[in-house]
Structure 1
Amino acid sequence: MSVALSAQDISRALTRISHEILEKNHGSSEITVLGIPTRGAHLAARIAAIMSSIEGKEIAHGTLDITLYRDDLRLRAPRAIMPTSIPPIGIQGRDVILIDDVLYSGRTIRAALDALGEVGRPRTVQLAVLVDRGHRQLPIRADFVGKNLPTSEKQSVRVSLTETDGVDEVVIEGEAN
């Protein structure tokens, strides 16, 4: 087990991602940030807060539960449906930034796109992740990445956040090969 990102590294990555989102979208006027529970929701709240401090105004943000849209429902143990919380301004015609902790196969993001389609029709959908570990099974890539962490398929990436785990860190577990 090795620590790939410390609390300070995570903070720097989220600040950089926030600046990149604002730069690409020419400010925040049309942005809605949606986090994928659990850790993606916490990261989305942090990114929205950072962007709010930069822009000097509140950034619309919420959560998007993807549980019922997953293609592996029968393969996993049942889990409680998490809340979906769309800001009052909605997503219709807006630039939606999906936030997740780790991008791996791409299946979670595919499910998020399906769930988003049930909520409304955004103008654009962009993806921000704290960690991209590779090994994609679907043609999905992130627009904003905190850290690329090449891993073997035998390894796992564990993101811990203060809100759920009491500490901010990203750890790679398992042997490289």
Structure 2
Amino acid sequence: MRTVLHAADISRALTRIAHEVLESNKGADRLVVLGIPTRGVALADRVAELISSISGTRVPSGALDVTMYRDDLARHPTRTPAPTSIPEGGIDGVTVVLVDDVLFSGRTIRAALDALGDIGRPRAVRLATLVDRGHRELPIRPDFVGKNLPSASHERINVRVVEYDGEDAVTIEEVGR
């Protein structure tokens, strides 16, 4: 296993993402940041906090569980669904920034779009990911990327965040070839 991003690298990447979101949205008005559990929620909270501190406008954040919207439930064991928490005021007519830790096949984001459709109708949806590892199976691409990290399909990208794991780090490890 090798570490490819340390705490300082993750902090810089999230700060850059926050600035890019502000520039793309032309400010922080009518913006909601939603993380995809588990680690995407912690990253979304950080991005929302950074945007708020940079812009001086409070940006709400929340969580969007996509477990039951996945199209691969029959093939992969499902985890226990996490709570979805949408900020007061909902998502209708706002720009939603979805935040996930790793973008791989695109299936999680497809599920997130389905889940959003059941909750409301945002003006726009943008995607931020800490790590884009490629290997897309669906035509989905992130708007904001912390680090492009091309990897082999037999490798696993592990994102660790202090909120859940006690440290910030991104590692790559080989799994059964």
Query: Shared fold by TM > 0.5?
Result: yes
Return structure 1 stretches of 4+ with deviation > 6 angstroms.
none
Q: Distance in 2 between matches of 1:78 and 1:101?
A: 18
Partner of 1:111: 111
Structure 1 residue 158 corresponds to structure 2 residue 152: no
Q: Distance in 1 between matches of 2:11 and 2:32?
A: 21
Structure 1 residue 39 corresponds to structure 2 residue 39: yes
Pairwise CA distance, 1:76: 2.2
Q: Distance in 1 between matches of 2:78 and 2:152?
A: 27
Instruction: Check the 8 A contact 1:60/1:89 in 2, yes or no.
Output: no
Pairwise CA distance, 1:60: 1.4
Partner of 1:92: 92
Aligned residues between the structures? 176
Q: Which AA in structure 2 matches 1:48? A: A
Counterparts of 1:13-162 in structure 2 under 5 Å?
13-162=13-162
Instruction: Check the 8 A contact 2:71/2:111 in 1, yes or no.
Output: yes
Instruction: Check the 8 A contact 2:92/2:121 in 1, yes or no.
Output: yes
SS, match of residue 20 in structure 2: helix
Q: Distance in 2 between matches of 1:90 and 1:76?
A: 31
Q: Distance in 2 between matches of 1:104 and 1:96?
A: 20
**Which is worse superposed, 13-22 or 70-79?**
70-79
SS, match of residue 135 in structure 2: coil
CA RMSD of aligned residues (A): 1.1
TM (normalized to structure 1)? 0.97
Residue ranges of structure 2 left out of the alignment (5+ in a row):
none
Residue ranges of structure 1 left out of the alignment (5+ in a row):
none
Pairwise CA distance, 1:146: 0.1
TM (normalized to structure 2)? 0.97
